[in-house]
Amino acid sequence: MVDLQSEVARAAGEVEAALEAFLPLPAGAEARLHEAMRYATLGGGKRLRPFLAMTAGTLFGVPRSRTLRAGCAVEMLHGYSLVHDDLPAMDDADLRRGRPTCHRRFDEATAILAGDALQALAFEVLADDATHPSPVVRLQLVAGLARAAGASGMCGGQMIDLEAEHRTLSLEEIYRLQRLKTGALFRFACECGAILGKADDPARRALSDYADALGLAFQIRDDLLDIEGDVTETGKDQGIDATAGKATTVALLGVEGARTRLGALLVEADEALRPFGEASHVLRAVMEFVIHRRS
């Protein structure tokens, strides 16, 4: 039995300390930007993406210090995506991680800049030779995160998400939206462990299949929580999706249909992990956690 909660908590402590060290201390005339970057990144969040990076890395014997750096880069990118996602022009959210959203605490322009700067810092961390001595490996990491974050990843998905407020999507279209806006970053979180460990192609494919199932399950659970979650646990505004007319699996399949889909994704994740045998038990536990999470 894996005590996932304590493993995630231990990793979250490492992530918090590493992020603290990466983020600029408020100084100079631009101190407000530094404060907003720190506000958006420190002291909250499940830190699931860095945990996945570290866990995937252990499959290939990667030193934790390296996957921690790559995981922090993913977490910064994720933090930026949340700050921009919450803006009035996007989801117009007031609450994030149990606190006012970044633009509410600061202002819109500062939140936009903080997101931009977090994204840039993520790539700076990957490009540093402390992440891996080989420039080829570092380039693979940089290219991988760029693909996951950009037009064919998170940003592309966010565009579809916004446009879907004005038209009805088919189930396949919603899955594609979710694979892009959420799945791409989860896939990269797993993939960076394989890149740092110079894993072979079959192992990379298996891990990527697992991450696809995980990313989709994560977003379906997120959509369910928007309806049936408890704000004291999620730390986010409830009911935003229905109000905005978002295209979600729950809107199309209903609550029961979405739960059934989560069960099917667990089976897919198990199949994908089979080649790794016992070594993948933590990744299996992460999938279980994602399906049942309340925050």
Q: Does 45 bind ligand IPE (CB under 6 A)?
A: yes
d(CA 43, CA 34): 15
Contact between 208 and 190 (Cβ < 8 Å): yes
CB of 172 to ligand IPE, least distance (A): 19
Instruction: Please name every residue paired with 152 in a beta bridge, in sequence order, or none if there are none.
Output: none
User: Nearest to residue 182, comparing CAs of 139, 228, 223, 144?
Assistant: 223
Q: Which is nearer to Mg ion, 16 or 91 (CB)?
A: 91
Q: Does 97 bind ligand IPE (CB under 6 A)?
A: yes
DSSP string of 236-271, one letter each residue: S-SSHHHHHT---HHHHHHHHHHHHHHHHHHHHHHH
Q: Does 48 bind ligand IPE (CB under 6 A)?
A: yes
235: left (phi over 0), alpha (psi -120 to 50) or beta: left
d(CA 122, CA 269): 28
Per-residue x/- mask for ligand IPE, residues 215 to 254, rule CB under 6 A?
A: ----x--x-------------x------------------
Q: Which is nearer to ligand IPE, 249 or 280 (CB)?
A: 249
* Nearest residue relative to ligand IPE (C-beta): 45
Q: Which is nearer to Mg ion, 67 or 248 (CB)?
A: 248
Q: Does 156 bind Mg ion (CB under 5 A)?
A: no
Phi first, then psi: what are they for 94, rounded to 5°?
Answer: -100, -25
CB of 200 to ligand IPE, least distance (A): 29
d(CA 135, CA 260): 44
Q: Which is nearer to ligand IPE, 77 or 195 (CB)?
A: 77
46 binds, among ligand IPE, Mg ion, none (CB under 5 to 8 A by kind): ligand IPE
Stretch that binds ligand IPE, among 2-10, 59-67, 91-99, 199-207 (CB under 6 A): 91-99
Contact between 62 and 19 (Cβ < 8 Å): no
Stretch that binds Mg ion, among 32-40, 90-98, 251-259, 274-282 (CB under 5 A): 90-98
Contact between 252 and 174 (Cβ < 8 Å): yes
d(CA 60, CA 1): 21
CB of 287 to Mg ion, least distance (A): 19
Query: Applying CB under 5 A, what is the total number of residues that bind Mg ion?
Result: 3
Burial of 202 (0-12, 13-18, 19+ CB in 10 A): exposed
d(CA 264, CA 153): 24
CB of 201 to ligand IPE, least distance (A): 28
Q: Which of residues 190-219 bind ligand IPE (CB under 6 A)?
A: 219
Per-residue x/- mask for ligand IPE, residues 144 to 183, rule CB under 6 A?
A: ----------x---x----------------------xx-
Q: Which residues bind Mg ion (CB under 5 A)?
A: 85, 91, 222
Q: Which residues bind ligand IPE (CB under 6 A)?
A: 45-46, 48, 81-82, 85, 91, 93, 97, 154, 158, 181-182, 219, 222, 236
